[in-house]
Structure 1
Amino acid sequence: MFDGQNVFFDSDATYGKSWGLKEYLEYTNTQMIVVAPACNQNPDNGRLKEYTPYPFKDKTFGNIKSLGKITMEWFVNELKPTIDNTFRTLSDRNNTFIAGSSMGGLMSLYAILEYNHIFSRAAALSPSIWTGPQKLAKMIKNANINPDTVVYMDYGTEELPRYKHMIQKFAMISSVLMKKNIRLNARIVPNGTHSEASWEKQIPFFVETLLYEK
């Protein structure tokens, strides 16, 4: 998972509220190892650069270069092997998933598309598709996807107005994913906001999708 500082503990979370994923996994006795590195917190848009698969321009953040490939190469070639060599994992593609929210959600889509030989399922909560919807759509169309690929994707009703035509962009990306025969679970979350508190409420939905029939 991306943005690891926000995944487990409120004391580590950027805004003082985490996903509370540790409590959920323990309460439900879910047999899953979750590896969640923190993001780059350099004030010079470090997180945006680390978590974008393509460069983009924004009136608020300026020109953002892409370090997403470098990030994923580290995930795949350094982080995953270390975890597999240290813990009792099921290391095959069928049991390897990726997840994140916001820019981390965008990276989860990138990972499942470009590293489909590593990841079989992905959860993208409130993915930042506003950064380049046409670039993302092209990436999906060009991706070599295994037919058993599963994607969970959602967006909250309260965050849709943040960007122009967001509902249309979400629908377009959903459609392109489905045309690639990806097994997509797409949701519009009632009263959902762009926050850890809202994403925490979606844990049962995306975890059940990732573990469906497993």
Structure 2
Amino acid sequence: MVVAYGCILPKSVLEAPKYGCINLHVSLLPKYRGSAPVQWAVLNGDAETGVSIMQMDEGLDTGDVLCCEKIAIDPEETSGQLFDRVTAVGARVLCEVVPAIAAGTLKPQPQDHENACLAPMLNKEMAEFRLTESAAHIHNWVRGMNPWPGAWFVTSGGKKLKVMECRAVEAHGEAPGTVLATKPLTVACGEGAVQLLNVVPEGKKPMDGTAFAAGQRLKTGDIL
């Protein structure tokens, strides 16, 4: 039984147990094979994800699926919050599936490999976003990169500003980066705007966006 192991087991190990090796994967396979399935579900703005119990083979999350359960994703949920929920569901489903495996009552279902997609490991560089992107994309990026590595962008002053929480709102006509309000700090994007609710300035501690705006003496019409 394998959960978040991170290595592919050799054939000799896979064939050693009486019932083979099983894996709990926190996505609805074949979607999001790989090391960061929860994060990519949030980054892509998916409405649901799930858990899959898989009979392991020599591939990367390519084995037959024994059981799966869907889980709705809240539109404001971070990947950290979602991870806590899916792991709890996964533990329950795993406990239900093990006796069924021993009893031989489960029928393995082959994955649809043509519709598979990967969920590669995150890094700090890919956490960057730009205010020229849509507010919806930025909102998902911030949620998906929370708690690690934390989504960030470079301000007009050349400083890195990490955003740990934001909200997408409607806005029209202003250039990306334009400050639309300071309470809460609201900034125009390529499409719509984002309220920056919790930020981490370069070299400083986390603070709410309104406090950051006050400290930077930002006013409506400035370019962040």
Please give the range of the TM-score, normalised by the shorter of the 2 chains: under 0.3
Please report the TM-score for the alignment, with normalisation by the length of structure 1: 0.24
Q: Normalising by structure 2, report the TM-score.
A: 0.24
Q: Larger strand proportion, structure 1 or 2?
A: 2
Q: More helix per residue: 1 or 2?
A: 1
